[in-house]
Amino acid sequence: MRRALFALGLAALLLPSCRGEGTKPFLPEPTDTREPIAMRYVTGPKLPVHVRADEGAEVVITYQRGERVSILAEQGDWVEVRIGDGSGWARREHVGSAAEAGQDTDQSAVRFERPPANIISMTASGEIYIEADVNTDGDVVSTRIITNTTGNEALALHNEAALRQAKFYPIVRAGERQPFKYYYRVTY
């Protein structure tokens, strides 16, 4: 009898949840579908986009000079910028026309944001040549030693590791970031 009462009590507890009572249906977050009011380009070296129109607010993404951004709204010194499925806020003074961003919006010169560390050897002689694959964010994602005429494998591996820790400014062509290959030569 006790078992039957326990089973009935358990069934009474579980039945409402099986019917969906007391639970909320899963609804994905709404996607911002507003049409942009303008297309602008980053005119400064970088464009930090904040969660709200406040310099102290968290930065959710940073765009590079020459990148094209969709403007959703303008509010005083701030513009609302589309980022993925949502939006963020950036200073109006850092966006402008393609002409203001530079005569062409291509930023195809390879520049280090954080260069590889110098690996010093007082006894080595020769050259190490390394190929690196760099993603659209400027991060080194893979490397390959092409030549090492120093005869010191450890020295080549140290240089390769230093290159993997480097950071590049993204390459921007026609307002879009591009992955690229970088060839690093160290002479001893």
The least confident of 14-18, 47-51, 124-128 is 14-18
What's the pTM value of the predicted model, to 2 decimals? 0.52
The least confident of 16-20, 112-116, 139-143 is 16-20
The DSSP line for 55-105 is TTSPEEEEEETT-EEEEEEEETTEEEEEETTEEEEEEGGGEE-HHHH-SS-
Residue 99 confidence (pLDDT) above 60: yes
Q: Are strands 78-83 and 68-75 parallel, antiparallel or unpaired?
A: antiparallel
pLDDT in tens, 5-42: 444 555 555 555 555 555 555 555 557 788 889 999 88
* Segment 99-108 mean pLDDT: 62
Residue 68 confidence (pLDDT) above 90: no
Residue 140 confidence (pLDDT) above 80: yes
If one counts every other C-beta atom within 10 angstroms of the C-beta of residue 131, the result is 15
C-beta separation of 59 from 49 below 8 A: yes
Residue 176 confidence (pLDDT) above 80: yes
